[in-house]
């Protein structure tokens, strides 16, 4: 993960230059979500696929379309076996899934061929290459890995490093734009910690206030609103007996806004609630459905988000635009229906 921090900084600098150019051209108001989506897509495509960056972007767009299609299914009555009906909807999902798998297999096969003919001694130093290198070490009879597992992990990285991180950044900017006193506090902390240097992975543990703000943003706008879990053994939750094999749904959004748990200000932005040492940022609130198989994705996403926020707040001040309409909607994740418009002001002007 540390080796990818420099690439994150490079992509963020490109995004900040785009914002600077927009301001210099007279555009003082921007829809910040578009920039956050663009920079996180750039980062995950480059870090996951390296030299296969352009093909990675194709996969990203297909996965985004698949997410939208899958969300449509949650709004309709699902009859047993209906996913096998030859409807236009089912054909679209099948076609896009097959195209994603085809592109992923092409990338994986090209890495395999390069190693087999001796053109390369490894599968690469990007995330896909590291995954393939590690899996090969654990095989006893040559290159005999589960390709479906590799493809599933690639898809997990996409959503961990793009979709959820982009939304975390967008909501956090909205909250800081609406709460200028906290924006100033975080900016002062970044300035003190970095001392004029570009934010790096070594600075991240020292960003106490930024960690508190990120945790509060995830509490108010958790990217995963419902977490499905299956009991692997008989358990007891409070007064409930949960038998082995039962699938349960954890209402994350409701829990994060519970006055019983958080007090009367449960719906208010108050990062100070995380000042207590008992709350470890990143342990209680994470920007996507947690699980053992995507712990690396969690670390990657949090590192990415903090570097981008630290660099953004060092270069610009921002206030919420008069045209902003607060309308969070659930589309598998929580998204701002009309975007997040902010007024930008370069700090060096």
Of 222, 215, 221, the C-alpha closest to 186 is 215
CA atoms within 13 A on the CB side of 31: 10
Q: Quick one: pLDDT at residue 160?
A: 63
**Chain centroid offset of residue 69 CA:** 19
In a 3-state reduction of DSSP, which class is residue 141?
coil
**pLDDT (tens digit per residue) in 105-156:** 888 888 888 888 887 878 888 888 888 888 777 665 555 567 788 888 887 7
Q: Quick one: pLDDT at residue 77?
A: 56
Q: For residue 332, is it left (φ>0), alpha (ψ between -120 and 50) or beta? A: left
Say whether domain 2-346 belongs to CATH 1.10.630.10: yes
- The answer for residues whose C-beta is within 8 angstroms of residue 247's C-beta and 6 or more apart is 228, 229, 230, 231
Query: Known binding site: residues?
Result: 295
Determine contact, residues 52/125, Cβ cutoff 8 Å: no
In a 3-state reduction of DSSP, which class is residue 15?
helix
DSSP for 31-75, written as a single string? EHHHHHHHHHHHHHHHHHHGGGHHHHHHHHHHHHHHHHHHHHHTT
Query: Known binding site for heme: residues?
Result: 295
Per run of 10 residues, the mean pLDDT along the chain (length 349 residues) is 84 95 94 93 82 72 78 60 69 86 85 82 81 75 68 76 88 98 98 94 95 96 86 90 91 93 95 73 39 55 93 97 94 89 90
Q: Where are the domains of the chain?
A: 2-346
Determine contact, residues 246/234, Cβ cutoff 8 Å: no
pTM of the model: 0.81
Q: Quick one: pLDDT at residue 281?
A: 41
């Amino acid at each position: 993960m540390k080796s990818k921090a420099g690439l994150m900084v490079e992509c963020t600098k490109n995004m900040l230059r785009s914002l600077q150019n927009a301001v210099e051209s007279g555009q003082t108001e921007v829809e910040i979500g578009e920039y956050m989506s663009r920079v996180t897509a750039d980062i995950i495509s480059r870090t996951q696929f390296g030299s296969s960056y352009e093909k990675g972007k194709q996969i990203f767009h297909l996965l985004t379309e698949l997410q939208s299609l899958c969300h449509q299914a949650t709004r309709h009555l699902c009859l047993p076996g209906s996913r096998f009906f030859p409807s236009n909807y089912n054909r679209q999902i099948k076609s896009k899934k097959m195209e994603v798998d085809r592109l992923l297999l092409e990338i994986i096969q090209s890495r395999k061929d390069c190693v087999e003919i001796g053109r390369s001694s490894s599968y690469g130093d990007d995330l896909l290459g590291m995954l393939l290198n590690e899996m090969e070490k654990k095989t006893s009879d040559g290159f005999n890995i589960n390709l479906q597992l590799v493809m599933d992990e690639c898809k997990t990285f996409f959503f961990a490093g793009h979709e959820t991180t982009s939304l975390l950044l967008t909501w956090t900017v909205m909250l800081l734009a609406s709460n200028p006193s906290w924006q100033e506090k975080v900016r002062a902390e970044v300035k003190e910690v970095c001392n004029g240097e570009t934010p790096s992975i070594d600075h991240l543990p020292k960003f106490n206030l930024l960690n508190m703000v990120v945790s509060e943003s995830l509490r108010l706008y958790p990217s995963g609103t419902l977490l499905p879990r299956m009991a692997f053994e008989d358990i007891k939750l409070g007064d409930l007996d949960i038998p082995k094999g039962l699938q349960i749904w954890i209402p994350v959004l409701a829990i994060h806004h519970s006055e019983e748990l958080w007090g009367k200000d449960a719906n208010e932005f108050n990062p100070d609630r995380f000042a207590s040492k008992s709350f470890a940022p990143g342990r209680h609130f994470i920007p996507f459905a947690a699980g053992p198989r995507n712990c690396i994705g969690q670390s990657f996403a949090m590192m990415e988000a903090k570097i981008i926020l630290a660099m953004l707040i060092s270069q610009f001040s921002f206030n919420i635009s008069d045209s902003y309409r607060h309308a969070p909607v659930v589309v598998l994740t929580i998204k701002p229906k009309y975007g997040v418009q902010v007024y930008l002001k370069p700090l060096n002007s």
